[in-house]
């Protein structure tokens, strides 16, 4: 292969891939027709924040919810305007409040950990499993206190969390489980769908996810009471609890977390495409992994026993016995590659680590989240400092390599270029040693 003989791009040589990678677009004619139907109706949202038959939204929202409930075998599906608001509604629904503690992961999108703060409760960080990157049951157990009320688990990168062990632990301590399955639509564990592996599951429909409607979220639960409380928090609970005769007023100051009819129409079309999109994604993962099977610097993602992984991203592990440093090597590979069409500003979709440990964010380090005084973090017992979750820090700083080159729009020839870039840099790795 001639291209491998050229100087590395990072040293001024030609890139392996100049042409942009194909845009990952899942929106088509179906969505346009469905949106036009809503536009023609003249009613873009049909929620009323009052004790009224429209309290639960318009016909498209309800149809969308019925479709999601059916797909995942849930008794209730409730749409919201984002996963972030969904997590807040879920934590409100289980009744947490000031003084309560909620165990969260230190390695996820920040909303997975901050939701408890909106009710004055304290997120308590636990560490993750080094091979699946989901919460570690032993670490969870080590931070349970008499104040612990719930656990927010995350199916990170599309891998279902360790539901069997963590549910057993939760039962023992009477804790609720909120499953943040934003990255895992279509994942499963021993036949149970991600989203149904806790008391409440929360999907995201923002535009980075497997399927999307611009912005949006869907909650799943089998619990009638939790479903009702979510619907109240979603839509101005305070104005309807009186007429509805609700007596437990905990967290019954609602928000406007309502999804519009337009987004619901798109979300329904997108759900129809999920299984096909997943099949394609699995094909891309299989192809990439077969091509990279002999590549000694990277270990391909582990899959939990009994699990189907949804591969939101493809999260590999760097072999730290390799002489060249991970960050230097990955910078060199990135220099060989191009961006995705439409997403040029986001750079090459290959990175070292995911996001920094959440406890290092300013809100935690400065213990200031919702108030200058009486902040829930003021007297929280954890130290928001380097060293709190060693596995997360090791993954982030030394081991993890994440990329998006497995999205359905990638063809095999595109993946070949990615593999070639890794090989070219590997062959010339000595030039990266200083
Ligand atoms: C995307 C994402 C969120 C936030 O979703 P929004 O719909 O943008 O609020 C939360 N948690 C995880 C794990 C995510 O990937």
Mean of the pLDDT values across residues 295-300?
97
Is residue 178 lining ligand 1, measured as CB closer than 6 Å? no
CA distance 335 to 339: 10
As a whole number, the mean pLDDT across the chain is 97
Judged against a pLDDT cut of 80, whether residue 315 lies above it is answered with yes
The confidence score (pLDDT) of residue 243 equals 96
pLDDT digits (tens, 9 = 90+) for 139-179: 999 999 999 999 999 999 999 999 999 999 999 999 999 99
**Terminal CA-CA length for the chain:** 26
CA of 83 from ligand 1 middle (Å) equals: 5
pLDDT digits (tens, 9 = 90+) for 43-71: 999 999 999 999 999 999 999 999 999 99
- Closest-CA residue, ligand 1 atom 6, reads 83
- Closest-CA residue, ligand 1 atom 8, reads 206
Is residue 179 lining ligand 1, measured as CB closer than 6 Å? no
Mean of the pLDDT values across residues 25-33?
97
The confidence score (pLDDT) of residue 346 equals 94
Q: How far is CA 301 from CA 298, 354, 427, in A?
A: 9, 14, 23
Beta strand 200-204 with 192-193 is: unpaired
Is residue 84 lining ligand 1, measured as CB closer than 6 Å? yes
Is residue 180 lining ligand 1, measured as CB closer than 6 Å? yes
Judged against a pLDDT cut of 60, whether residue 350 lies above it is answered with yes
The confidence score (pLDDT) of residue 2 equals 65
Give the pLDDT band of residue 434 (cuts 50, 70, 90). Answer: confident
Give the pLDDT band of residue 372 (cuts 50, 70, 90). Answer: confident
Judged against a pLDDT cut of 90, whether residue 1 lies above it is answered with no
Q: How far is CA 14 from CA 6, 8, 350, 352, in A?
A: 7, 7, 19, 23
Atom from ligand 1 closest to the CA of residue 205: 7
- Closest-CA residue, ligand 1 atom 5, reads 83
Mean of the pLDDT values across residues 401-422?
98
Entry pTM:
0.97
CA distance 341 to 80: 29
Is residue 263 lining ligand 1, measured as CB closer than 6 Å? no
Judged against a pLDDT cut of 70, whether residue 304 lies above it is answered with yes
């Amino acid at each position: 292969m001639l291209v491998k003989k050229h100087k590395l791009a990072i040293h001024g040589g030609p890139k392996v891939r100049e042409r942009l990678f194909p845009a990952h677009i899942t929106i088509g004619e179906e969505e346009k027709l469905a949106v036009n139907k809503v536009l023609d109706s003249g009613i873009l949202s049909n929620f009323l924040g009052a004790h009224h038959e429209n309290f639960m939204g318009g016909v498209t929202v309800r149809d969308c919810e019925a479709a999601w409930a059916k797909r995942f075998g849930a008794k209730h599906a409730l749409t919201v305007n984002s996963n972030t608001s969904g997590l807040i509604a879920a934590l409100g629904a289980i009744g947490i409040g000031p003084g309560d503690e909620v165990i969260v992961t230190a390695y996820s999108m920040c909303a997975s950990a901050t939701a408890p703060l909106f009710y004055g409760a304290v997120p308590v960080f636990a560490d993750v499993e080094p091979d699946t990157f989901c919460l570690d049951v032993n670490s969870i157990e080590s931070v349970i206190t008499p104040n612990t009320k719930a656990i927010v688990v995350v199916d990170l990168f599309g891998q279902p969390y360790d539901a069997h062990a963590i549910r057993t632990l939760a039962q023992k301590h009477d804790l609720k489980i909120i499953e943040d399955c934003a990255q895992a639509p279509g994942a499963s564990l021993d036949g149970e769908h991600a989203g149904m592996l806790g008391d409440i599951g929360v999907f995201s429909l923002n535009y980075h996810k497997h399927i999307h409607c611009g912005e949006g979220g869907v909650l799943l639960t089998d619990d009638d009471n939790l479903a009702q409380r979510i619907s109240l928090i979603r839509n101005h609970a305070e104005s309807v609890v009186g007429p509805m005769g609700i007596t437990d007023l905990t967290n019954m100051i609602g928000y406007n977390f309502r999804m519009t009819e337009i987004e619901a129409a798109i979300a329904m079309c997108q759900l129809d495409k999920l299984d096909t999109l997943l099949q394609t994604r699995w094909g891309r993962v299989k192809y990439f992994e077969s091509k990279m099977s002999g590549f000694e610097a990277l270990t391909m993602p582990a899959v939990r026993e009994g699990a189907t992984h949804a591969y939101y991203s493809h999260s590999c592990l760097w072999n730290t016995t390799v002489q060249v440093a991970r960050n230097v090597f990955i910078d060199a590979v990135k220099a060989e590659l191009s961006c995705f069409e439409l997403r040029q500003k986001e750079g090459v979709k290959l990175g070292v680590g995911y996001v920094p440990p959440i406890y290092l964010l300013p809100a935690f380090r400065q213990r200031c989240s919702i108030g200058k005084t009486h902040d829930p973090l003021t007297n929280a017992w954890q130290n928001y400092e380097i060293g709190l979750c060693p596995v997360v820090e090791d993954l982030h700083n030394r081991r993890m390599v994440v990329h998006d080159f497995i999205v359905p729009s990638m063809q095999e020839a595109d993946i070949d270029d990615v593999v070639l870039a890794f090989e070219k840099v590997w062959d010339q790795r000595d030039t990266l040693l200083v």
